Amino acid sequence: MFEILRSGFKTISDTVGIEWAPMDVPIERRLQTLAATAWMCLVLFGEGICIYLAIKLLYSDYWFLAILYMIAMLNDIDICHRGGRKFDWVRNWSLWRYYRDYFPLKLVKTADLDPEKNYLFACFPHGVVSTGAFGAFATNALNFYKTFPRMTCNMITLGGHFLVPFFRDLILALGGCSSSQESLLHLLDLKRYKGKCVALIVGGAAEALDSHPGEYKILLGRRKGFVRVAIMAGAPLVPVFSFGEPDVFRPLANPQESMLRRFQELVKKYTGISPMFPIGRGMFQYTFGFIPLRCPITTVVGEPMEVKKNLEPTREEVDAVHAQFTERLVDLFETHKAKYLKNHEKTKLVIM
pLDDT of residue 183: 97
Radius of gyration of the chain (CA): 21
Residues in the chain: 352
**Helices in 223-314 by DSSP H: which ranges?**
225-233, 259-271
Name the residue ranges covered by the structural domains of the chain: 24-351
What are the two backbone dihedrals, phi and then psi, of residue 219, each rounded to the nearest 5 degrees? -90, 105
Between CA 171 and CA 182 the distance in angstroms is 18
CB 318 within 8 A of CB 312: no
Between CA 324 and CA 44 the distance in angstroms is 36
* Residue 286, number of CB atoms within 10 A of its CB: 15
Between CA 91 and CA 140 the distance in angstroms is 5
pLDDT of residue 2: 43
Element (H, E) at 14: helix 2-16
pLDDT tens column, 245-265: 999 988 767 777 778 777 767
pLDDT tens column, 170-219: 999 999 999 999 999 999 999 999 999 999 999 987 887 778 888 999 99
pLDDT of residue 1: 47
Between CA 187 and CA 193 the distance in angstroms is 7
- Helix 27-58 to helix 63-75 angle (10° resolution) is 100
Between CA 71 and CA 231 the distance in angstroms is 37
Q: Which residues are within 8 A (CB) of 99 and not within 5 positions of it... i.e. 6 or more apart?
A: 32, 35, 36, 38, 39, 105, 135, 139, 141
pLDDT of residue 101: 98
Residue 123 in 3-state DSSP?
strand
User: How many helices (H) does the chain have, and how many strands (E)?
Assistant: 13, 9
pLDDT of residue 208: 78
Between CA 59 and CA 173 the distance in angstroms is 27
Extract the residue ranges of the chain whose pLDDT is less than 50.
Answer: 1-2, 4-5, 9, 12
pLDDT of residue 3: 52
Cis peptide before 149 (omega within 30 of 0): no
| Chain centre distance of CA 325 | 21
| Chain centre distance of CA 157 | 8
What are the two backbone dihedrals, phi and then psi, of residue 319, each rounded to the nearest 5 degrees? -65, -40
CB 120 within 8 A of CB 184: yes
pLDDT of residue 8: 52
The pTM assigned to this predicted structure is: 0.91
pLDDT of residue 181: 96
Beta bridge partners of 122: 200, 239
Cα 87 to Cα 9, 172, 212, distances in angstroms: 44, 8, 34
Contacts of residues 66-70 at CB distance under 8 Å and 24 or more positions apart, as own/partner, are: 69/165, 70/165
Cα 187 to Cα 124, 176, 196, 239, 327, distances in angstroms: 20, 11, 7, 18, 26
Nearest C-alpha neighbor of 348 from the set 337, 340, 303: 337
Q: Which residues are within 8 A (CB) of 179 and not within 5 positions of it... i.e. 6 or more apart?
A: 156, 157, 158, 159, 200, 204
